[in-house]
Structure 1
Amino acid sequence: MNETIQTQLNHRSIRAFKDQALTPEQLNTLYDVARHTSTSMFLQQMTILHLTDPVKRAAVREIGGQPYIGANGDLLIFVADLHRNQLIRHRAGNDDGRLHTLDVFLQAYEDATLAVQNVLTATESMGLGGVILGSINDDPKALIKALNLPPMTFPVLGLQIGVPDQSPQLKPRLPKEWMAFENDYPTDLDWDVMASYDQVVNTYYDLRNANQRIDTFTDQINGAKIATQPLLRDEIIEVLHAQGLALDLELQ
């Protein structure tokens, strides 16, 4: 056990922040952490937008449907960015090469995702808090328009960070027996272990002050979260194609 691991094991999403922006020094430290994150093939296909414009922050909040988005604290949007490398190739007189393929887009997507996690860990190590925002892509077409993003880019995740104004409980995670295996994926899982975990999750929601929902993990998996229903998020392939990305991925 060391300080870094302790910070990681103590992770909890913070959704209430004090009315206090990060200092330039703090932001630059986090930018440097993002810059030094592992990158596929050293293509460095990730960009960060720090949104301070209240109009843009409000637009992202409306898209995500969560009141804390763009409220107190700082809002970062991590972008899969192939536009920069496209410009580099054009300046040298080259065509786009493989930039329009799903493979290269996924490399950019992975670059952005890894940077988000690294920045969040660094944020928490500084005594700050944060929450990863997958909800920014509840309407990817509207988000790209609101952020005025150029072709060959796609917003992957948001990250709201700042000085915590709450101290939520740790959310219980799936037991290791269901997540870590030696060599082979098991053909059967121990449902008694899951039943015990469901009880732990149920107790967590029962006792949590911020939200008096009574729920279990399996209830959520069998509920509305991934039930069959049309969502704007399902237009992601069309949006990617409109951005010039993953063109070799066929529309169904």
Structure 2
Amino acid sequence: MIFLKTDEEVEIMRQNATTISRILAEMAKILKPGMTTLSIDHMCKQMILDEGGIPTFYNYHGYPHNICASVNEVVVHGFPNKTELKEGDIISLDLGITKNGYVGEHAYTFVLGESTKENLQLVKVTKESLYKGIEKAVVGNRIGDIAYAIQDYTEGKHGYGVVRELVGHGLGKTMHEDPNVPNYGRRGTGMQMKENLTIAIEPMINLGKKNVYTESDGWTVKTKDGKPSVHFEHNVCVKKNKALILSDFSIIEAAEKTNANLNTSYEAL
């Protein structure tokens, strides 16, 4: 079932999404080699609680942590753990807050220190593909238009692997609503979008092949070839001429630039 939101509901969701953006920005200020993702999980949980919300991910279908921390070949749903981050790691932090009856949740990928040009290029292209998809999230377009835009840019133009098993989704009172929003597909197919449909668009793009598998924990998804994967996600509201982005990468990007341990050189590629 599709739930179109009122403007008031969209505003609550925008506030929640930007709260997650602020928390990710705080993480961007302090991320460094030697930190553990479990410590990041604890910090994010406390910041969500301090905002008067609850961590959306905790116990969601039994998920045992507050955030997903996916490093290198982990595509999504990485369990926070005590392994220390190291120079060259690529890490996606994905987290959510439930507050005032609605969910805000999104993801951002960081690069710690020096990395290869091909890894940096993957980060750049995946991030750009997110905005290619968002451009299509307007009234009258179809879900397939978003999917095609992302796939054409990442797989068609750059030869990357677009994950099929995991997709974006509707967002609202729960973290996953209809419709599914794939990162692959054909233009002109799928549901036609109406105003104030709220969705999470989240390209999950592999440096190598598209194939993935799930670890025995039932959650952690990894690339089959062991090559890195990158994940960016925005919360978006469909509008008539231009989509309204509810989350805010600009504050995360500003924070990244203050941290000498993070590599943002991909922006200049």
TM-score for both structures, normalised by structure 1: 0.27
Please identify the structure whose Cα radius of gyration is greater.
Answer: 1
TM-score for both structures, normalised by structure 2: 0.26
